[in-house]
Chains A and B, each alone.
Chain A
Amino acid sequence: MRIIAIAGNTFREALRDKVLLALIVIAVLVTAAAKIVPPLAVGEGAKIVKDLGLATMTLFCVLIAILVGGRLIYKEVEKRTILTLLAKPVRRWEFVLGKYCGLMLVLIISVALMTLWFTLFLLLTHVPLDIRLLLPIAMLVLELAIVTAVSTLFSTFTTPISSTVFAALTYLAGNMSRDLLALAAMNKSLLVKVLARFSYYLLPNFRNLDFRALVIHNQLLDPNQVLWAIAYSAIYITALLLIAILIFQRRNF
């Protein structure tokens, strides 16, 4: 009940965030711009539209998760609204979870709206609908859940600017971690190899959740890969939120 109350209030607060509204509007416009990109070869037009649409949704939803998530808890502390909240019979872990769930609700609705717009756009541009597109969209939600957990973690102890920078770097590094590991393997330095491997296992590996290319290019999907992606996300999110809760438990206000 308390988590739901806090989540509901966070949802309401996030909806009023101008950054959120601006990003959704820009995402819609960029998706529409996919139509003016000329195809590189015959039959490639549909793939470009799908790819660009999914990429746009990913980019802007991740930006929402990073920018709005980075201020999630900090704003409550800065504006001192946290004093009356924590004076109620609310456990600190309930507060963190409530804030996280509230932002996730915003993101899920954002993805749903963008999906509706994307579907409409595909219909308008006579691109055949593919039910398999729902898989990368579902994976996007998991990706956002991880990014939001990262933002929430940083929001428990640092400023919005630092939180945004750290969360953005984590996202970028998480998308490049396999490449970094491969590059490090070519390096002679043992320290570089160890650091690269450490970063690879520490940082979230978003490539595990990336099924866009498989779906767009009509390649075979392995159900075990999907299950592994879900399990990986669940473990990572749990770990991040646990750390966030531990840090928040120790804070003085």
Chain B
Amino acid sequence: MTKPIEIRDLAKHFRSGFLIREIRALESVSLDVNQGEVFGFLGPNGAGKTTTIKILMGLTRPSEGTATVLGESPSSARVKRRLGFLPEQPYFYDYLSAREILELNARLCGITGREMKQRVDLMLQTVGLTGSQHGRLGKYSRGMLQRVGVAQALLHDPELVILDEPMGGLDPIGRKEFRDIILSLRDRHKTVFFSTHILQDVEMVCDRVAIVVAGRTVSIGRLDEIVSTRLDTIELTMRNVPLPMLQASDIAGMRIMQREDKLLVTVDSEEAADKVLKVLAQNHGQLVAMIPRTHTLEDFFMTQVRAQKPQ
């Protein structure tokens, strides 16, 4: 079965400046996106996320490698009827209203007449712009423009939705609403591919993620494999346990910090935590808190990014 997105060894080099300096925006990006999943495309600034997305949308040609969307070349106008795209910081004609820009986009997708009116009404309602649909886009706030962007991306009911930094510049309410839209798309068996560097949003909605650093994919995997099963550390906060008693227990990998009348003990395993609790019990100490710290997506992301930095 054809996957919605297939990328193999994608590279993109630009020539820039008077001395024709070569800029290597992408070195080697490879990934697949499965039907019906929400796929997060992560990376630090300048990693090549937007360049990859532009290649997927046929806006830029790759220097090397291949990319297909819904089994076709990204430059195919036919496949774009089945794609929805929201660029980073979308720009629209500021003399048009929200309704007018959606109607223009509908016509470009071959949607006219009553169907156009119905879809535009639905999209305006979905993104909460029914009340301001006749206002000029030049007067819209950043958040309102983002909503218009979402509306034009989903207007023609695409199978695959590609979003470039969709939640940048949105307030917490806007980000929550956006996450809900993404989840509703998944419920409707649409495929969503979005780039971001806001990891909390990725943890809440994505099924799989890929991390790209300096133009290369460095990791691809299911979010639940990356995040949930790895226990990083356990932090125990306790009182009335003499510090020398704890130090004498010689538990491997234990780190102790004293704060006023409390000891903050960090260990690397459940076995080590058991030993600390035994020392606590022997000294009739008081356990204030015990917090297991799992390996977060941020930890994983930072590890991958640091690993790619030149020594």
Contacts and interface: CB of A to CB of B under 8 A. Distances in A.
User: Do A and B come together as binding partners?
Assistant: yes
Contact of A84 (B54, B61, B90, B95): B90
Please classify how large the interface on chain A is, using the bins under 10, 10 to 19, 20 to 34, 35 or more: 20 to 34
A250 B57 CA distance: 15
Given A13-B93, A80-B87, A90-B77, A1 B59 contact: no
- Chain B binding surface SS class: loop
A84 B152 contact: yes
A89 B110 contact: yes
Given A88-B80, A91-B77, A253-B60, A81 B93 contact: yes
Interface in B91-106: 91-93, 95-96, 104-105
B58 to A, nearest CB: 7
B108 A90 contact: yes
Contacts of B278: none
A81 B91 contact: yes
A2 interface: yes
A87 B59 contact: yes
A84 B151 CA distance: 12
Nearest to A83: B87
Please classify how large the interface on chain B is, using the bins under 10, 10 to 19, 20 to 34, 35 or more: 20 to 34
Contacts of B105: 84, 88
Given A81-B93, A83-B59, A87-B85, 18 more contacts: A2-B108, A2-B110, A4-B107, A5-B104, A9-B93, A83-B57, A83-B91, A84-B92, A84-B149, A85-B108, A86-B57, A87-B57, A87-B87, A88-B108, A91-B77, A252-B14, A252-B59, A252-B60
22 contacts: A9-B93, A9-B96, A12-B96, A81-B91, A83-B87, A83-B90, A83-B91, A84-B85, A84-B87, A84-B90, A84-B91, A84-B105, A84-B152, A85-B108, A86-B57, A87-B57, A87-B80, A87-B87, A89-B78, A89-B108, A89-B110, A252-B60
Interface of A: 1-2, 4-6, 9, 12-13, 16, 79-81, 83-91, 252-253
Interface of B: 14, 54, 57-61, 77-81, 83, 85, 87, 89-93, 95-96, 104-105, 107-110, 112, 149, 152
